Structure 1
Amino acid sequence: MSDVISFGPQAGLTIPPWDKIDAKPLIELRSVSKSYGDFKAISNVSLKIYEKEFFALLGPSGCGKSTLMRLLAGFEIPSDGEILLEGNDIVPIEPHKRPVNMMFQSYALFPHLTVEENISFGLRRMKLPKDQIAERVDEMLSLVQLTKLRRRRPHQISGGQRQRVALARSLARRPRLLLLDEPMAALDKKLRRETQLELIDIQYRLGTTFVIVTHDQEEAMNVATRIAVMNHGELVQVATPVQTYEAPVSRHVAEFIGDTNIFIGRAEALEDGMCRLHDSRLNQSFLAPMSGKLVEGGEYYLNIRPEKMEVSAEQPTDGSNCISGKILDIAYLGNLSTYYIDVGSGKPLSVQMTNSQRTTSQRFTYNDAVWISWYPVDGLLLDR
């Protein structure tokens, strides 16, 4: 079977490059650090990003993701380490001479220029022939579906359209790498979702490598081929969206990516690859698959996602893990409802249930006594 060349969220990979030993990365960071006086913004980061990837840098404010992007753009110089593009060291190369472009969060459009003049600005700086500039602008306008608005100025178009102008301007110079700094932060939720789909489609058609910085977990999950979760200037986990959500390497990643429930306790090994975790706060034990050799006396975290749990009025008898509680709050979101249930651990458990039938009332209401259950195989044991 031959390798699939194109890939992305909408094009299943046969052999992704990050799983191939001999695959050469487009971008490689080798032991990169960045310090400002005594403060270390980036600490010993090594990372490979491959051609045609839509790569996401994800983390809370202050985690170092924007600093890492500025290092790639050339706006900052690393204190230590190397940054390679196609095997060549780009640290000494000035930002405007790198085959890298950046789309800023503010879009940074020139208010006195029209849409087409904004798109052509960088091309004119490159002193390309006028016919090539016109051809490239027409291509970009068609790509972002703004041909009919080419004569308008930024204040005459919507926020979503300004975002597309900024994207077209960034792509017009045909960079090998496009950096996107919180590109959808200013858009409302519905428009953000539509724009995410447009970005995926444009990136897939062009084959340009995109690196997006975001603190929005849902956005990263929607657009990225892989996600690098950062915390305190370090890479915590680099994986596909599915791997990041279903197999987080730590409690920090599990709690940062989506909603989750955590039980804390000591674990003991059982037969058939299973273990039992005892949560002393609840004085209850739960079964889970063993994810490695257990350290006797060590503290472990049992991670269960809200959608993998069930709420029932009666105690389950099918051998599932279960615990009783009382409903404190209900968040109705149309397609699903999230129940927040007090089980006596201090922090309520959250359980999501799909509203698969049309109804004007909830199955359960406030202060109802209920049972929460889940299959042991749906839990994930973490040691940190």
Structure 2
Amino acid sequence: MLALTEKSVINSAGQFGRDTESRTPLIEIRGISKSFHSFTAINDLSLNIYEKEFFALLGPSGCGKSTLLRMLAGFETPTSGQILLNGENMVSIPPEKRPINMMFQSYALFPHLTLEQNIAFGLKRLNMAKDEIHSRVAEMLSLVQMEKFARRKPGQISGGQRQRIALARSLARRPKMLLLDEPMAALDKKLRRETQLELMDIQHQLGTTFVIVTHDQEEAMTVANRIGIMDHGHLVQVSTPLETYENPVSRHVAEFVGDTNVFCGHVNAVKESGWQFCLDKVDTVLVAPELTGVPSGNIKYLNVRPEKMAVSRDYEEDSSNYLKGTIIDVAYLGNLSTYYVDVGLDKPVLAQMTNSQRLHTEHFAEGDVVWVSWYPQDGQLLVR
């Protein structure tokens, strides 16, 4: 596995965590729409993607993310709108003439060719000199640490190794942008995690702009500098992984990215200590930070992540927010436990607690009556 250095992580996370408005985008997507007969897959979507960025398109199946990727690659033509690369409209330019390459989910390796021949295939079509092709293939094999397998064929290596060769072949032509369509979907969880780290390190080494399509929230949070959340052909939020998780713009985003608790209700009172949120189903008032610039009457939801919550047998006097309930299920995951607590709402409350000590961490069981509590600043009010 390639080593993901601390320096590369810091650079990757910090470079695009800042404001991007002052930077010149590599790709400008302007008002793109794509319809298939009466079905609209992409609806008036605009987005900027920057040089050396690792950008993730995240969303459920059918949200339009793969269609958008195929339009970037040139395999689909927009119904309307523009795709600009360094200011040049690419809509009428065929895929083979774009400085963009795409790595498919199936990897699409030629089974009758060796690994080095697979990597060289696209280079030969560029009419490169033989010695230059040989040098570039060796460089790519070294990049993905597959030199000793160069003479093997795809059927003689593992799925993870095929993924590396597909990546090497996609990068061999040195595209300005690499598009990745669910590239790790076929890998097991451990190998997927290792490959994600390798992918991040390769992207950082080369400085190539990567755009990945995935429905795996953890994968997007791991590899991307910024994430675009898609829903029914629209981009509903574009932000860093931290911002996406901690400050979702809507209930849809909050529930799609990780586990969470979304309480339905309304603001009952506005005070200096925080806005008081009254639950619809139970007679309980909770406290949350003010939602700046939004009238209190527009508030519909309170979002609280499960890891922000504490579970205890006794009521915590210093906590402003608490709910009493009964544990109806426990998911023990080794490093943490997830408690499902019935507090009288339509859905149980999810609370997660780390098992930080082997023998002394307090564990709760199904049927226990407990208090679930959290600090006001750990909740987020939402309008939609």
Matched, 1:349 2:349: yes
The residue number in structure 2 matching 1:274 is: 274
- 2:4 corresponds in structure 1 to none
Aligned with 1:317: secondary structure? coil
CA distance, structure 2, for counterparts of residue 62 and residue 336 of structure 1: 33
Q: In the aligned structure 1, how far is the partner of 2:18 from the partner of 2:343?
A: 42
What is the SS of the residue equivalent to 1:123? helix
1:264/1:299 contact within 8 Å kept: no
Gaps of 5+ in 1: 1-6
Looking at structure 2, the residues matched to 43 and 238 of structure 1 have their Cα atoms a distance apart, in angstroms, of 16
Q: Does 1:315 align with 2:315?
A: yes
The answer to whether 1:167 aligns with 2:167 is yes
| C-alpha contact 1:9 1:225 (8 A) present in aligned 2 | no
State the Cα distance separating 1:306 from its structure 2 match.
0.3
Name the structure 2 match of 1:241: 241
Q: Which amino acid aligns with 2:254?
A: A
Quote the offset at 1:293 in angstroms: 4.2
Unaligned runs of 5+ in 2: 1-6
**How big is the shift at 1:295?**
3.5
Task: In structure 2, give the amino acid aligned to 1:35.
Answer: S
Match of 1:292 in 2: 292
Distance 1:145 1:218 in 2: 25
Match of 2:151 in 1: 151
Change over 3 Å in CA distance of 1:15–1:60 after alignment to 2: closer
**Hey, what does 1:27 align to over in structure 2?**
27
TM-score (norm 1): 0.95
Residue 227 of structure 2 corresponds to residue 264 of structure 1: no
Determine the C-alpha separation between the residues in 1 that align with 2:197 and 2:296: 48
Shift of 1:114: 0.6
Give the CA deviation at 1:14.
5.9
- The 2-side partners of 1:60 and 1:252 are apart by 11
Does the 8 A contact of 2:338 with 2:351 survive in 1? yes
1:96 maps to 96
Distance across 2 between alignment mates of 1:120 and 1:217: 34
Distance 1:174 1:251, change over 3 A: same
C-alpha distance in 2, partners of 1:9/1:32? 33
User: What is the aligned partner in structure 2 of residue 137 from structure 1?
Assistant: 137
Greater shift after overlay, 267-276 or 324-333?
267-276
1:201-259 Cα distance to aligned partner (Å, 9 max, x none): 00000000000000000000000000000000000000000000000000000000000
Where do 1:219-258 residues align within 5 Å?
219-258=219-258
Whether the aligned pair in 2 keeps the contact of 1:114 and 1:154 (CA below 8 Å) is yes
Separation in structure 1 between the aligned mates of residue 162 and residue 350 of structure 2, nearest angstrom: 39
Tell me, what secondary structure is at the counterpart of 1:48? strand
SS in 1 for 2:51: coil
The answer to whether the 8 Å contact 1:34/1:41 transfers is yes
CA distance in 2, matches of 1:304, 1:239: 19
Q: How many angstroms does 1:362 deviate by? A: 5.9
Runs of 4+ with deviation above 2 angstroms: 7-10, 12-18, 268-273, 292-299, 359-362
Q: Tell me if the contact between 1:268 and 1:294 (Cα under 8 Å) persists in the aligned partners.
A: no
Which residue type is aligned with residue 226 of structure 1? R
1:131-155, Cα deviation, whole Å (9 max, x unpaired) = 0000000000000000000000111
2:338 is aligned to: 338
The CA distance in 1 between the partners of 2:283 and 2:54, in whole Å, is 45
Q: In structure 2, the residue corresponding to 1:26 is in which secondary structure? A: strand
Contact 2:16–2:53 (8 Å) recurs in 1: no
- Aligned counterpart, 1:377: 377
Aligned position for 2:44: 44
**CA–CA distance in 1 between the matches of 2:217 and 2:177?**
22
SS at match of 2:141: helix
- Whether the aligned pair in 2 keeps the contact of 1:8 and 1:54 (CA below 8 Å) is no
Q: Does the alignment pair 1:108 with 2:108?
A: yes
Tell me, in whole angstroms, the C-alpha distance in 2 between the residues paired with 1:314 and 1:299.
31
Provide the rounded CA distance (Å) in 2 between the counterparts of 1:367 and 1:17: 44
Query: Alignment identity in percent?
Result: 62
Out of 293-302 and 270-279, give the one that drifted further.
Answer: 293-302
